[in-house]
Amino acid sequence: MKKGIVFILGLLVLVSMTNLCWSGEKVNAGPSDYLLLSGTVNNQQGKGVKEVRVAVLVNGKEMHVPEEVVTSSSGSFHVKLTLPRGALPGAKVELELTKASYEPSGRIAVGRVVEDHKDEKGNVTYLSHLDIKLNRAITPAFWIATLVLLGVYVVIAMELLHRTLAAMVGGSLLLLITYTAGTFFPDYFILSFEDAIKAIDMNVIFLLMAMMIIVGVMKKTGIFQWLALKSFEAARGNVFGLAAVLMFVTAFISAFLDNVTTMLLVTPVTIEISKALKLNPLSLMLPEVFASNVGGTATLIGDPPNIMIGSYAKLSFMDFASNLSLICLIGLAASILYYLWYFKRDYGKAEVGDVKEMTRKLREEYKITDMKLLNMCLIVLGITIFLFIIHGALHMEPSIAALMGAAALLVVSRVNIVEMLEHEIEWPTLIFFMMLFVVVAGAEETGLIQVIADWVSNASKGSLVVAVIMILWVSAIASAFIDNIPFTATMLPIVAYLNQVIPGAESGILWWSLALGACLGGNGTMIGASANVVTVGIAESLGHPISFMAYMRMAWWPMMITVALCMGWLLLVEL
């Protein structure tokens, strides 16, 4: 009986050791073969695919390695197998790759196995490397992500819900489907929570938040109203000159501050001036909001699409300023001339009256209220802008400069930080950005972005000129009818891919096409840019409502003119 038990136990130990040996565990004392297997898994665009499960089969039997093998964020994988002595190089080694939203690879034979070295115990190490391409699969997750993205766009464009709520519903729905249906059916897996968090670009969020704080403190000094007053003084009663100066000042401010904030600050003074001149406020406000979008295009921090592009593509403040400021100045000049012609009858009917008396009244009402705080603000803002200019050389994210500037200004000004956080930071806008990044990430993970990128690449036929024109005009027309922020978020990975596959695109010209198209195209309609919506709302509250078509008649053609100028600039100067 005892001998039988001993025999059975010995047999079990032998079987266990054999299984462990074939599973990759180093338990056998005799010589072994080691296979160091590495590789990279890419999608059809040549980008590494993360979290792909890699199964290894030897002679048709799957090896049970100690830890599940999955690809890294760059698509690479490494696995070490322990095999009985003499198994290699003759053994048939195969791989099977699986990932949601991708077609199963089937069995891929590991071809060349190279002997690397033999140690003093006779153990032989072999090496093999594979580059594998996985094809996208059109799964239910693809269609769900597509419908959610389009649904968010439609709801925002038709103003059925607040844009922040629309993005929140879209992002939450993607995650809910992933962790319900996707848990039981891999074809419904869209986006993991971890990937959703990684998709949120905190550089964009922090940069916007910090600039809102800086602007909030500066508002307390009266500097923006003072600048509008100085514009009126510079015009010396000439309404045409006044309109031109107001457009230029608005564009200049928007280059360094958010254009929505700029319009909120400039509009009250513009309304007072309009009342004094017996002018329809729209004849000054509409050119101003147009100028704010043109001026904001010139710099990294002037318009949210530029902030997103700069963060995604690692472009510096000086990259934007050196490549876009001159064409934006040309576009601003063209815009000024157009609106001086368009509103010439309104300006001609203005009742100028006693310019000196009106100037005196405006000086009493709009003046610097806190010179000490203003000096602090200008010093901190100057240092912040300097850091923006050199942040590329320091390899520092621009949000760090903005956060430091905001923090320093709060300290030296002794402004109530709770008041700032409650009243000056546009939390709905920041949450909108965060949830929008999640929605776009869902479209990217399921393959929609790659489908669009392939279509653009095929349509351009590898021509950089065609790609520049397509991205510029598609961005401009699309941004006129949907908010340019979600459109830009969708286009970022598409342009990044085109930069890799189109010869000559590595210069970055496609990023400038996207920036110019998205920012200037937003001028085309009242819903194309957030500044437009805010300005129209203010005008309506003052008894000057404007319809969608009326706004479009006043803004569409100057938008087309500025975009056409940008196309000529990109083709003649940047290429």
How far is Cα 472 from Cα 476, in angstroms, rounded to an integer?
6
For the chain, what percent of residues have pLDDT higher than 90? 22
The vertex-398 CA angle with 392 and 404, nearest 5°, equals 125
Domains along the chain? 33-133 (2.60.130.10), 140-199 (no CATH), 223-367+447-574 (no CATH)
Chain mean pLDDT for the chain: 83
Question: What is the dihedral sign for C-alpha 337, 341, 342, 346?
Answer: positive
pLDDT at 24: 41
Predicted confidence band at 291 (pLDDT cuts at 50, 70, 90)?
very high
pLDDT at 352: 67
pLDDT at 3: 55
At 332-348, the pLDDT tens digits run 999 999 999 999 888 88
Residues 6+ away with beta carbon under 8 Å from 184: none
pLDDT at 233: 75
Instruction: State whether residue 129 is helix, strand or coil.
Output: strand
Q: Is the pLDDT of residue 358 over 90?
A: no
Q: Is the pLDDT of residue 186 over 60?
A: yes
Q: Is the pLDDT of residue 152 over 60?
A: yes
Mean pLDDT, rounded, for 310-334: 91
At 394-430, the pLDDT tens digits run 888 888 988 999 999 999 888 888 888 888 787 887 8
**What are the respective helix, strand and coil percentages of the chain, to the nearest 5?**
65, 10, 25
Mean pLDDT, rounded, for 535-548: 77
Residues comprising the chain, all counted? 575
- Beta bridge mates, 39: 77, 130
Predicted confidence band at 49 (pLDDT cuts at 50, 70, 90)?
confident
Mean pLDDT, rounded, for 23-35: 57
For residue 398, count CB atoms less than 10 angstroms from its CB and return exposed for 0-12, middle for 13-18, buried for 19 or more.
buried
At 105-137, the pLDDT tens digits run 888 888 778 877 777 777 788 888 888 888 888
User: What is the per-residue DSSP string for 66-107?
Assistant: SS-EE--TTSEEEEEEEEETT-TTTS-EEEEEE-TTB----E
pLDDT at 176: 96
Q: Is the pLDDT of residue 237 over 80?
A: no
For the chain, what percent of residues have pLDDT higher than 70? 92
pLDDT at 15: 47
pLDDT at 26: 42
How far is Cα 448 from Cα 101, in angstroms, rounded to an integer?
11
CA distances from 171 to 141, 189, 190, 200, 430 (A): 14, 14, 11, 11, 14
Predicted confidence band at 331 (pLDDT cuts at 50, 70, 90)?
very high
To the question of pTM greater than 0.75 for the whole model, the response is no
How far is Cα 389 from Cα 315, in angstroms, rounded to an integer?
11
Predicted confidence band at 42 (pLDDT cuts at 50, 70, 90)?
confident
Is 508 in contact with 468 (CB distance < 8 Å)?
A: no
pLDDT at 99: 87
pLDDT at 510: 93
pLDDT at 109: 85
Element (H, E) at 126: strand 124-133
